[in-house]
Amino acid sequence: MLKSWNDERGFGFITPHDGGPQVFVHARHCELHRMQRPEVGLEVTFEVVRAEDGRLQAHQVLPRHGWAAVDRLPDGALRQKRADARERQVRQQQDRRNQRRAERQEVVQWGTASYFAIAVLIALLGVLSVGWRLPGWVWWGYGMASVATFLLYRGDKRAAQRGHWRVPEARLLLAGLLGGWPGAIVAQQTLRHKSTKAAFRAAFWGTVVLNLGAVVTWAVWGRTALELVGRP
């Protein structure tokens, strides 16, 4: 039963039927609707929660037969509801800022590894060119495919900003698989596009590995096959 209630400050005390200690209750934990208020003597149901200061508090307080109707909520309840709403808004804004900060940090860290992959490609093509006489058009092929892929990413970025039809992710991945992944990396880092979605990144790096594996296999085993064919 609601033993006491202070309208001005928006709190009171409940006396349990089992004769235990009184339980503190605040207006924000009463399931109040507009034009309703707690009233001394009401039979209520509630859950008991122990606050940080060790005091017992009543949460999810509901009347057995309905709240009393008034012209407006108690001033204390209104002030507390506004304060709670402001606190939730500030907390949500802080959570969004923290999330954006974490995403930016992740993009920077991933960007360093991404550019390292381009350096590995250049070194690999250099080794294949010297040791296995890799045709020069392979270099040109990577360059042209990278430019085309970069433009593809830029078009998808603009479409996303303007709400137009997007480039399918499968097409972006296929462009990387066909040798345009260095341009995709540059686009991801400079345009901040497709750089945070974990599923896409995993699929993208899969295309990078497949592309490099195909080039190495073609350069090494293709030359070995030609040498075997050319032997008397």
Mean pLDDT throughout 15-31?
A: 79
Q: Tell me the per-residue pLDDT of 54-81, one tens digit each, with 9 for 90 and over.
A: 788 888 777 776 655 544 555 565 566 6
Q: Which residue has the higher pLDDT, 226 or 10?
A: 10
Amino acid 167: pLDDT? 93
Amino acid 230: pLDDT? 46
- Every domain of the chain with CATH number 2.40.50.140 lies at 2-73
Q: Which residue has the higher pLDDT, 213 or 88?
A: 213
State percent of the chain over pLDDT 90: 30
Amino acid 33: pLDDT? 59
Q: Tell me the per-residue pLDDT of 89-112, one tens digit each, with 9 for 90 and over.
A: 888 888 888 777 766 665 555 667
Record the pTM.
Answer: 0.55
Instruction: Quickly name the fold that domain 2-73 has.
Output: OB fold (Dihydrolipoamide Acetyltransferase, E2P) (2.40.50)
Q: Tell me the per-residue pLDDT of 176-231, one tens digit each, with 9 for 90 and over.
A: 999 999 999 999 988 888 877 888 989 999 999 999 999 999 888 866 654 554 44
Whether the CB-CB separation of 57 and 26 falls below 8 Å is answered with yes
Mean pLDDT throughout 146-164?
A: 94
AA identity, residue 169: E
Amino acid 118: pLDDT? 92
